[in-house]
């Protein structure tokens, strides 16, 4: 049973989205606020009717504008976890879950609801109302209620946005564990890329209601389809350059970046003289020693910032002689300590040729040669 949807509308929020999620797969919809993520989820659940397109789940058509089909939310068998959970405030945790068991005989509902609450580690809290539960417990009741419906699709709308960081990590672990036992398509809306990378099999990047690219998280980070996707997925090392030389024999395209040549894998799509965008993932920016300065794509830089968190350090370094070009890379915090990576230190960085990715140039105003620009939501 897979979920397949094409959604189109021009107002109130423009949509031109293609969604595909296989059985057992978790698809994350990511994008800045206002990009239409939640609206897409509402379309899938039947809570919003787009102007055009279709929604199919397995063999069933839930929505088809051309054929005039629009199955009600009640008829779609969707589990929906709302951003602020939308628990029924006047009912206990048990009654919240019981209400979603309309498909069972009345006599079976209570026992089944207890079973779902137990699976969500909520034993002993059955008689509490939502206001008497913590944020994390409320979220688990919401997930239990969504699953109690015996859904064919599970939809999660920013399920971790309303809890604190510590609770969030706990809930993330539980969801990772839980989803292994769910043989249905799961669609997660989030603006948090870390969350998407941790949970999702594939992610779809959205901008102004358009789906720009769908790929596995690692693939998305390593090979964004466009500079806009790179920007929306928070790639720090995104720059502009000019093609200097095309050399299919050596499988190399050479670009000019800030007056120095930079080697990239051969890309036939550009001609000498073309302006291009290019990016290199943080993981492919490598700290090298003095005697390795003759390696390809090595640039001298000066550390401007070091942010350490849980044993990892994210380092920003200005390219020597260029106050406006900053490279970002990640190393272990202890390595950073040992190698003296502190603000002001001079270092050598190698940009691994195989990971340099050339992309069609963005409009001039959006692609500074020097580094990332702001993403307008």
Residues at the contact surface with other proteins, assessed by CB under 8 A: 45-47, 72-74, 76-80, 82-84, 86-90, 99-100, 102-103, 145, 149
Task: Name the minimum Å distance from CB 119 to other proteins.
Answer: 17
What are 3's two structure tokens?
């979920």
**Cβ–Cβ < 8 Å for 44, 3:** yes
Task: Name the minimum Å distance from CB 46 to other proteins.
Answer: 8
What element of type H or E holds 204? Answer: strand 202-207
Q: Judged by CB, which is closer to other proteins: 99, or 215?
A: 99
Q: Judged by CB, which is closer to other proteins: 99, or 288?
A: 99
Q: Judged by CB, which is closer to other proteins: 56, or 77?
A: 77
Distant-in-sequence, close-in-space partners of 24: CB < 8 Å, separation ≥ 6: 182, 183, 184, 185
**Cβ–Cβ < 8 Å for 348, 292:** yes
Task: Name the minimum Å distance from CB 58 to other proteins.
Answer: 18
Task: Name the minimum Å distance from CB 86 to other proteins.
Answer: 4
Q: Judged by CB, which is closer to other proteins: 90, or 339?
A: 90
Task: Name the minimum Å distance from CB 355 to other proteins.
Answer: 43
Task: Give the end-to-end CA distance of the chain in Å, rounded to a whole number.
Answer: 34
What does DSSP say about strands 357-360 and 275-279: parallel, antiparallel, or unpaired?
Answer: antiparallel
Q: Judged by CB, which is closer to other proteins: 89, or 344?
A: 89
What are 10's two structure tokens?
């021009």
Task: Name the minimum Å distance from CB 34 to other proteins.
Answer: 18
Question: How buried is residue 108: exposed, middle or buried, by Cβ count under 10 Å (0-12/13-18/19+)?
Answer: exposed
Q: Judged by CB, which is closer to other proteins: 76, or 207?
A: 76
**Cβ–Cβ < 8 Å for 139, 162:** yes
């Amino acid at each position: 049973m897979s979920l397949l949807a094409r959604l189109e509308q021009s107002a109130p929020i423009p949509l031109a989205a293609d969604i595909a999620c296989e059985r057992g797969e978790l698809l994350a919809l990511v994008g800045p606020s206002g990009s239409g993520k939640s609206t897409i989820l509402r379309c899938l659940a039947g809570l919003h009717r787009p102007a055009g397109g279709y929604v199919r789940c397995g063999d069933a058509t839930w929505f088809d504008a051309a054929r005039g089909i629009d199955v009600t939310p009640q008829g779609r068998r969707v589990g929906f976890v709302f951003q602020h959970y939308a628990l029924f405030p006047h009912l206990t945790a048990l009654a919240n879950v019981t209400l979603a068991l309309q498909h069972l005989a009345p006599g079976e509902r209570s026992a089944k609801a207890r079973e779902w609450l137990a699976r969500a580690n909520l034993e002993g809290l059955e008689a509490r109302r939502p206001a008497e539960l913590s944020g994390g417990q409320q979220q688990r009741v919401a997930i239990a209620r969504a699953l109690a419906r015996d859904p064919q699709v599970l939809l999660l709308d920013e399920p971790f946005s309303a809890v604190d960081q510590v609770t969030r990590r706990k809930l993330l672990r539980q969801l990772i564990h839980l989803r292994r036992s769910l043989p249905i398509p799961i669609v997660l809306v989030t603006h948090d890329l870390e969350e998407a990378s941790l949970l999702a099999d594939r992610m779809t990047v959205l901008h102004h209601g358009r789906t720009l690219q769908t790929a596995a998280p690692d693939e998305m980070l390593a090979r964004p389809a466009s500079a806009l996707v790179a920007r929306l997925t928070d790639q720090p090392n995104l720059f502009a350059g000019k093609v200097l030389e095309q050399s299919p024999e050596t499988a190399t395209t050479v670009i000019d970046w800030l007056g120095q040549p930079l080697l990239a894998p051969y890309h036939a799509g550009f001609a000498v003289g073309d302006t291009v965008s290019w990016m290199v993932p943080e993981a492919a920016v490598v700290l090298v020693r003095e005697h390795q300065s003759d390696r390809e794509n090595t640039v001298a830089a000066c550390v401007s910032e070091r942010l350490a968190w849980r044993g990892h350090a994210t380092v920003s370094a200005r390219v020597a002689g260029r106050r406006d070009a900053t490279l970002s890379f990640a190393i272990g915090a202890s390595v950073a300590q040992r190698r003296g990576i502190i603000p002001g230190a001079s270092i050598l960085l190698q940009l691994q040729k195989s990971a340099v990715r050339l992309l069609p140039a963005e409009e001039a105003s959006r692609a500074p040669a020097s580094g990332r620009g702001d993403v307008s939501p």
